[in-house]
Amino acid sequence: MLLFVGLCGLWFAIPGEIGLAPLVLISFGLATIGAELATVFTNAMMPSLVGNRRLGTLSGIGWATGYVGGLVSLALIAGLIVADPHTGKTLLGVPPIVPLDPATREGDRLVGPFSAVWFLVFILPLFLFTPDRPSKPLKRDAVTAGLWQLIRSVRDLVRHHFEIAKFLLARMLYADGLGAVFAFGGIYAGTVFGWGATELGLFGIILTITGTFGAALGGVLDDRKGSKAVIAATSLLFVAASIGVLSVDHDHVLFVLPVEPKAPGSAPFSSVGEQVYLAFAMLIGIASGPIQSSSRTLLARMCPPDKVTEFFGFFSFSGKITAFAAPLAIGAVTHASGSQRIGIAMSLVFLIAGLLLLLRVKHDGR
């Protein structure tokens, strides 16, 4: 409900209406809180839905399905609803199916309510058909008891589940690096190749498609080889592909091989530099799905059955509490060095540090 209300509230993000800014911030906050809470509980449900030997496949298919849903909803929004304010046409070159005012960005603002309805429709099968544990009556002092339980859980995590705590720290590091690569990869490409909204949109679609296949394949490998092995292998691939992406500039690939720069006004991805960049980016997409899906599988396999929800709460917390660190490091190094490439390379420090710590976690993921 929090997510639904928050997304609908984003409709009020009217350009120039400063008085509505607090409402928009509150709506965004509610949507974020709702999404994080929902993710904690859906992750924690996994061990109760399938046996341990099928957790990887379930997590991988679930992650891949999320990619597909995002891709389909993006296609509907960009292709049929949101129009370019200059041309009045959507990405497909047709007028929007809903008459909207481009001056107040109604097409962009409709993304919030559209996402809310999309979420409501596809969450219904979870409520109607997915088994759940019997609910317990809510106590009057539930909030106070919950806070004390949180304190006990943190203490218990550090004292009695140190390997899980070590994994959560590792995951925090490589998740920060992974998020930074996605956040700044498009910015770097836009600077090097002059990509606009069309190229960046197509770039995002390609990454989503490759991520879908990567997550599904990674889930199968997870059940066969173990979660930790899949995370380690795909993290190495992610690091190598990230280095490959950074090896491309407007007239070189692999740092030293000269290529013809992108011609002004040429078709998207028509230059050699763009094609090499896109090839490495597709490897990043393939690797990112298994890293994320197998991370939650590994935690589900390491957790005591009675603490799954608690530890998935820490899992979500660890993925957000330091999300600013990698972008902050990138910004500081970019400013100090004057090089965007060197700045973005700081994300590799987080990825490699997380991978090295993960290798010290004493669990085979089976």
Indicate if the pLDDT at residue 137 is higher than 80: no
What mean pLDDT, rounded, does the chain reach? 86
- Interior CA angle at 151 toward 150 and 155, to 5°? 115
Cβ partners under 8 Å of residue 29, min gap 6: 6
User: Higher pLDDT residue, 277 or 158?
Assistant: 277
Partnered with residue 257 across adjacent β-strands are 253
User: Domain extents for the chain?
Assistant: 162-361
Q: What is the mean pLDDT of residues 57-83?
A: 89
Q: Is the pLDDT of residue 145 over 60?
A: no
C-alpha 53/C-alpha 366 separation (Å) is 8
Least confident stretch, 49-63, 88-102, 260-274: 88-102
Confidence of residue 52 (pLDDT cuts 50, 70, 90): confident
Q: CA dist 58 to 61, 218, 316, Å? A: 5, 11, 19
Q: What is the pLDDT of residue 22?
A: 80
Indicate if the pLDDT at residue 119 is higher than 50: yes
pTM summary value: 0.88
Least reliable range by pLDDT among 15-19, 81-85, 163-167: 15-19
Task: Specify the CATH class of 162-361 in words.
Answer: mainly alpha
What does the DSSP assignment read for 66-109? HHHHHHHHHHHIIIII---TTT---TTSS--SS---GGGTHHHH
Task: State the pLDDT confidence band at 304, using cuts at 50, 70 and 90.
Answer: confident
